[in-house]
Amino acid sequence: MSHDIHKYAFFLGCIAPNRYPGIEAAAIRTGKKLDIELVPLKGASCCPAPGAFGSIDLNVWYAMAARNLILAEQMNMDIALICNGCYKSIWEVNHKLKHNDELRDSVNEVLKEVDMEYKGTSNVYHLAELYYNDEVCGLNKLRDSVTTPLSGVKVACHYGCHLLKPAKDREFAGGAIGDSEHPMWFEELVDALGAEAVEYRNKMQCCGAGGGVRGYDIAHSLDITNEKLTNMTAAGADAIADTCPFCQLQFDRGQFEIGQKFGVEWHVPVLHYCEMLGLAQGMSPVELGLDLHQTSCKPFLDKLKGGQ
């Protein structure tokens, strides 16, 4: 286990800082105990949203993501982020631009007008992937940082799509992460906090929000969410863990919206892994902004206390 400090430019995205600031706060604070230092990436913007933006014009999506990447290049740093959607934009555009000269030139052509140039000198990581990676953190270090184990609760892991898929284009350091059909590393991360991760049917299904569908046809997107909630609760989940604030929004607000639109009641707390890690490291629900969640986290928190 190394105690070197691993420094990353912290790419926030939109939904974490602007809707679930607890995720941002948790990421920074929990990181300190894991020798992961998250440095502000000043002037970053929306990644931009891969579904909404990429659908309109992939080229502008490349250029906008490249701008964010360049900010990190200027700091001589790799990027760490906390959102699957951001991962798709920032990691994938970085990957594409590194490997496709023609594309890079066309993007740089436009960026020249704003005095920027993409060079391809930074790497991009999701924080969850860094937690799992023994060379940066690893399960043992994570386990050691736990002061209040999340024992007695069953957690359904939602991997989300854009971190892992399309798997054929992804390149994770640990082979275990790349599997997009039956991965288990998120469960291992959750188990490391003392909770019990449960397997459920069609685990890798989408939350329903992506591709602009949440905005385009909310009922359609919620119907997908409802199917996931059905499968998760059938397996006895007390809470949902995610690695993506947008998925979190879909599950968290979605339960309320499903109630309103479909008359189906759900009360399954939804937490980002950073929030869970914060709890396990002893941060209070208020410090984590759990009260900002639309679906109350209380049942989960109560069960935690009951279990302790």
Partner 1 sequence: MTSAKAYKDAALAARLSDRVYRPAEDSDPSFTAEVEKIGGTAAHLCFQCGTCTGSCPSAPRSSYRIRTFMRRANLGMKDVCLNDPDLWLCTTCYTCSDRCPRDLIPTDVIMAMRNMAAKQGIVPKNFLATVNFIYNTGHGVPNNDANRVARVKLGLEPEPETTCKYPEFLPAIRKILEAYGTKQLADKVLSEGQ
Partner 2 sequence: MVYTGKNAAAAEAPEEPRIGVFICHCGTNIAGSIDVPAVRDYAATIPHVVVAQNYAYMCSTPGQNMIKDAIAEHHLTGVVVAACTPRLHEPTFRTATANGGLNPFRFEMANIRDQGSWVHMHDWDGGTAKAKDAIRIAVAKATKLEDLYPMSVPVEHRALVVGAGIGGIQASMDLAAAGIETYLIEKQPTIGGRMSQLDKTFPTLDCSQCILSPKMAEAGRTPGIKLYTLAEIENVEGYIGNFDVTIRRHARGVLTPNEAAAKGIIGGGCTGCGDCSNVCPVVKPNEWEFNMAPRKAIYICHAQVVPLIYTIDFDACVKCGLCITACGTKKAIDLEMQDELFTIKVGTVILATGYEAFPIEQKKEWGYKLYDNVITSLEFERLICASGPTIGHLVRPSDGETPQSVGFVLCAGSRDNTGIGKPYCSRFCCMYSLKHAHQVIEKIPGCRAYIFYMDIRSFGKAYEEFYYRVQNEGAKFIRGRVAQIQELPNKNLIVVAEDTLLGNQVQIEVDLVVLAAAIQPTAETEIVRRQFGVSCSGDKWLLEAHPKLNPCGTTTAGVYLAGVCQGPKDIPDTVAQAEGAASAASIPIHSGHVELEPYYAQCMQNLCAGCGMCTRLCPYSALSMTVVDGRTVMEVTAAKCKGCGTCGGFCPGGAIKMQHFTSPQILAQIDAFFLGGEQ
Q: What does 63 bind: partner 1, partner 2, none (CB cut-off 5 to 8 Å by kind)?
A: partner 1
**CB nearer to partner 2: pick between 102 and 181:** 181
Any long-range contacts for 136-143 (C-beta under 8 Å, 24+ apart)?
136/6, 136/36, 137/6, 137/34, 137/35, 137/36, 138/1, 139/188, 139/189, 139/192, 140/1, 141/1, 141/34, 141/35, 142/34, 142/189, 142/192, 142/193, 142/277, 143/192
- Does residue 164 contact residue 180 with C-beta atoms inside 8 Å? yes
Upper half-sphere CA count for residue 287 (Cβ side, 13 Å) = 17
Interacting residues with partner 2 (CB under 8 A): 168, 179, 181-182, 201-202
The CB-of-116 to partner 1 minimum distance in angstroms stands at: 7
Q: What does 179 bind: partner 1, partner 2, none (CB cut-off 5 to 8 Å by kind)?
A: partner 2
Q: Tell whether residue 58 is a contact of partner 1 (CB under 8 A).
A: yes
C-alpha span between 16 and 245 (Å, rounded): 6
User: H or E segment at 158?
Assistant: strand 154-158
Q: What does 43 bind: partner 2, partner 1, none (CB cut-off 5 to 8 Å by kind)?
A: partner 1
C-alpha span between 247 and 225 (Å, rounded): 9
Site string for partner 1, 281-300 (x = CB under 8 A): -----xxxx--x--------
Residue 177's contacts (CB-CB under 8 Å, 6 or more residues apart) are 129, 132, 164, 183, 185
The CB-of-133 to partner 2 minimum distance in angstroms stands at: 22
- Does residue 72 contact residue 79 with C-beta atoms inside 8 Å? yes
**CB nearer to partner 2: pick between 179 and 223:** 179
**CB nearer to partner 2: pick between 4 and 181:** 181
The CB-of-164 to partner 2 minimum distance in angstroms stands at: 12
Residue 56's contacts (CB-CB under 8 Å, 6 or more residues apart) are none
Site string for partner 1, 3-32 (x = CB under 8 A): -------x-x-xx-xxx-xx-xx-------
Query: Nearest 5 degrees, angle CA 283-CA 286-CA 291?
Result: 130
**CB nearer to partner 2: pick between 140 and 202:** 202
Q: Which one among 147, 201, 216, 267 touches partner 1, defined by CB under 8 A?
A: 216
The CB-of-231 to partner 2 minimum distance in angstroms stands at: 9
The CB-of-55 to partner 1 minimum distance in angstroms stands at: 4
Contacts to partner 1 by CB under 8 A = 10, 12, 14-15, 17-19, 21-22, 24-25, 40-46, 48-60, 63-64, 67, 110-111, 113-114, 116, 161-162, 165-168, 180-181, 204-206, 208-213, 215-217, 220-221, 223-224, 227, 286-289, 292
